[in-house]
Amino acid sequence: MGWGIKGKCSVCKKENIRVFYCFGKLKCKECIEKTKKNIIGHSGMIYHKNTAIQLSFNKGLTLKLVKKSELLYVKWYIEHYPKSKGIVGRQLNYLIYYNSEPIGIIGIASPPLNYKLFKEYFNTDNSKLYVNNNVFRIVNKPNDKNIGTKILKQLRNKIIVDYYKKYKDKLIGIITFVEPPRTGAIYKADNWDYLGMTKGIEVRRRGKNWYNKEFKQGTKKLIFAKKLKKL
């Protein structure tokens, strides 16, 4: 945990005490220890194994915008990415409902920075104008063979509106990374463009405010992208 610094705990609000950086926030040792008991914290996302499922009154396919701390979203996200440190940066998180029942999750978040490939594809140096489809998980698949492309289509339409409402920027595109042996068939069916493969270099942030970077060899992933219609 390191030696920490003198400051104010973001949880208990005590001031002038020893605090430590924990998932981007300053916390005292006592609050960090409380977080470790029976629950796992992931950048504001707290995992509970036994999470109740709430039904919706909507029929058909709907995407419900939720906070990243929404319990069912956290459960399905962390179980999909157990090593994740959580979601940071700009983001929109959705529960997927089909005929009143939640069937999965999908979301977008800030893209990785300094990708020349994306700058050329979207013809912009502003990485706030495109986003990364960081998670797409169908937990309970309905009897609909085209459900994947239907969800992606609805996502593309919703994020243009929701992103502008929240961040006041007009989205021009969306990207995603697909880890083999998956082939990105759903994205191909939705007419996304294949841009190639990553070099497999993973960046891990360390130290105060995550400013220190650590590079390591990881898994090469397929890259897909799609330009969005203007508002």
Distance from C-alpha of 205 to C-alpha of 195, rounded to nearest angstrom: 26
For residue 123, how far is the Cα from the chain centroid?
Answer: 24
Whether 30 is in a domain gets the answer yes
Average pLDDT value for residue range 26-54: 70
For residues 55 and 28, state if they share a domain. no
Using one digit for the tens of pLDDT, what is the confidence trace for 76-112? Answer: 999 999 888 889 899 999 999 999 899 999 999 999 8
pLDDT at 210: 45
Mean pLDDT of 177-196: 96
For residues 5 and 81, membership in a common domain is answered with no
Query: Domain for residue 86, yes or no?
Result: yes
pLDDT at 32: 72
Would residue 43 count as lying in a domain? no
Task: Specify if 209 maps to a domain.
Answer: yes
Same domain? For 183 and 118 the reply is yes
Stronger pLDDT, 208 or 179, i.e. the higher one: 179
SS3 228: coil
In a 10 Å sphere around its CB, with 0-12 CB exposed, 13-18 middle and 19+ buried, how is residue 44 labelled?
A: middle
Could you tell me if 25 and 106 lie in one domain? no
Is the residue at 63 inside a domain?
Answer: yes
The pLDDT assigned to 127 comes to 94
pTM for this model (two decimals): 0.76
Write out the residue range of the structural domain in which residue 2 sits.
1-37
Q: Are residues 121 and 205 in the same domain?
A: yes
Distance CA 143, CA 72 (A): 22
Model confidence at 154, in pLDDT bands (50, 70, 90)? very high
Confidence of residue 202 (pLDDT cuts 50, 70, 90): low
Total tally of structural domains belonging to the chain: 2
- Same domain for 93 and 3, yes or no, is no
Q: In terms of domains, do 22 and 69 share one? A: no
Per-residue model confidence (pLDDT) at position 31: 79
Given a cut of 70, is residue 10 above it in pLDDT?
A: yes
Output the pLDDT for position 47.
75
Candidate from 33-42, 66-75, 126-135 with smallest mean pLDDT: 33-42
- Which CATH number is 56's domain given? 3.40.630.30
Residue 178 falls inside a structural domain: yes
Do both 93 and 10 map to the same domain? no
**Predicted confidence (pLDDT) at residue 128 exceeds the cutoff of 50:** yes
Going by the DSSP 8-state scheme, the letter that residue 209 receives in this structure is G
Q: Provide mean pLDDT across the span 214-222.
A: 74
Determine the pLDDT at residue 2. Answer: 42
> Is residue 14 domain-shared with residue 67, that is, in the same domain?
no
Mean pLDDT value across the chain: 85
Buried b (16+ CB within 10 A) or exposed e, 100-138: eebbbbbbbbbbeeebeebeebbeeeebebbbbbbbbeb
208 shares a domain with 94: yes
In a domain, 80, yes or no: yes
- Residues 73 and 180 placed together within one structural domain of the fold: yes
Does 42 fall in a domain?
Answer: no
Together in a domain, 139 and 223: yes
Mean pLDDT of 136-152: 95
